[in-house]
């Protein structure tokens, strides 16, 4: 039996004013294909727009349905979730999705089940666990001198990242990788239960993992648009399936 890999869904009617090639790439289709090729059974979780209490209840029960969670790319994270008002450069947000994913991430962390976070995913995971974000790298991080919101086709690599030795990511990628980059927000203050395992040459955080275990692995780029031509980006999905199988075998 394939392990069940849940992916949080997007609300397409909310996305439609923004649809362009990059946003089309952010739809979970490529994630579903990568999960299936890597040996998992993908399912998509609908975003709850219910009260906080019901959302938390739904999140707790959803966790019983899957073996691992993928938190995919998407809109900017509502800055009020980390105690800031939005600056003018903050992009479109979708608060119901933020609140649903926050509840789901907390419930999944509590369960011990593995998480793989992609782009916005590592940002909302970091916020859900107590970290903060740059709302806009260009205006808030003066050291961020690399173009992170690439205008090249979304599946093409545009900047390098380097990895911390002895991390899950370095086991998959070795020391360095050349990745795509479709973000203008990034992790700022890292949540206490996470640590940085990948950075761009300008210091922007490109990968995070949970402390003292392999429960959470997150990347700031989009491996779902690179896995066809890049073995390590494919191996990120294999790694998640293996972590899901290992967790299921232990419990
Ligand atoms: Mn980047």
Question: pTM (2 decimals)?
Answer: 0.93
Q: Which helix (H) or strand (E) holds 158?
A: none
222 classed as catalytic: yes
Whole-number Å distance, alpha carbon 148 to ligand 1 midpoint, is 4
In tens, the pLDDT along 27-49 reads: 578 999 999 999 999 999 988 88
Collect all residues with Cβ–Cβ distance below 8 Å to 74 and sequence separation of at least 6: 10, 26, 94, 97, 119, 120
Whole-number Å distance, alpha carbon 54 to ligand 1 midpoint, is 35
Whole-number Å distance, alpha carbon 45 to ligand 1 midpoint, is 27
Of 148, 183, 184, 222, catalytic:
222
pLDDT at site 31: 94
Whole-number Å distance, alpha carbon 31 to ligand 1 midpoint, is 19
Question: Tokens 């294999």 map to which residue?
Answer: 238
What is d(CA 206, CA 183) in angstroms, rounded to the nearest whole number?
A: 10
Read off the tokens for 215. 């429960």
What is d(CA 93, CA 76) in angstroms, rounded to the nearest whole number?
A: 5
Of 101, 102, 119, 209, catalytic:
119
pLDDT at site 11: 66
Whole-number Å distance, alpha carbon 10 to ligand 1 midpoint, is 22
Of 30, 102, 224, 245, catalytic:
224
pLDDT at site 82: 98
pLDDT at site 25: 33
Which stretches in the chain have pLDDT values below 50? 13-15, 19-26
Let me know: does 98 contact 55? Beta carbons within 8 Å.
Answer: no
Whole-number Å distance, alpha carbon 143 to ligand 1 midpoint, is 13
Pairing of strands 159-163, 194-199: antiparallel
In tens, the pLDDT along 147-190 reads: 999 999 999 999 999 999 999 999 999 899 999 999 999 999 99
Whole-number Å distance, alpha carbon 34 to ligand 1 midpoint, is 21
């Amino acid at each position: 039996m394939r392990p069940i890999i849940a992916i949080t869904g997007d609300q397409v009617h909310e996305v439609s004013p923004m649809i362009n090639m990059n946003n089309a790439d952010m739809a979970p289709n490529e994630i579903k294909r990568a999960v299936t090729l890597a040996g998992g059974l993908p399912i998509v979780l609908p975003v709850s727009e219910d009260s906080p209490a019901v959302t938390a209840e739904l999140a707790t029960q959803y966790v019983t349905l899957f073996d691992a969670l993928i938190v995919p790319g998407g809109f900017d994270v509502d800055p009020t979730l980390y105690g800031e008002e939005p600056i003018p450069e903050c992009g479109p947000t979708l608060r119901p999705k933020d609140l649903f994913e926050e509840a789901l991430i907390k419930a999944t962390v509590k369960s011990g089940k593995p998480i793989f976070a992609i782009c916005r995913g590592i940002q909302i995971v970091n916020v859900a666990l107590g970290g903060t974000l740059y709302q806009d790298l260009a205006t808030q991080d003066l050291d961020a001198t690399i173009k992170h919101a690439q205008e090249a086709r979304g599946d093409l690599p545009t900047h390098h990242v380097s990895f911390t030795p002895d991390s899950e990511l370095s086991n998959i990628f070795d020391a360095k990788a050349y990745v795509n980059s479709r973000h203008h927000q990034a992790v700022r203050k890292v949540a206490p239960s996470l640590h940085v395992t990948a950075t761009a040459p300008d210091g922007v955080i490109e990968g995070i993992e949970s402390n003292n275990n392999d429960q959470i692995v997150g990347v700031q780029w989009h491996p779902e648009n690179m896995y066809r031509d890049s073995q390590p980006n494919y191996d990120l999905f294999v790694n998640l399936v293996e972590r899901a199988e290992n967790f299921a075998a232990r419990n």
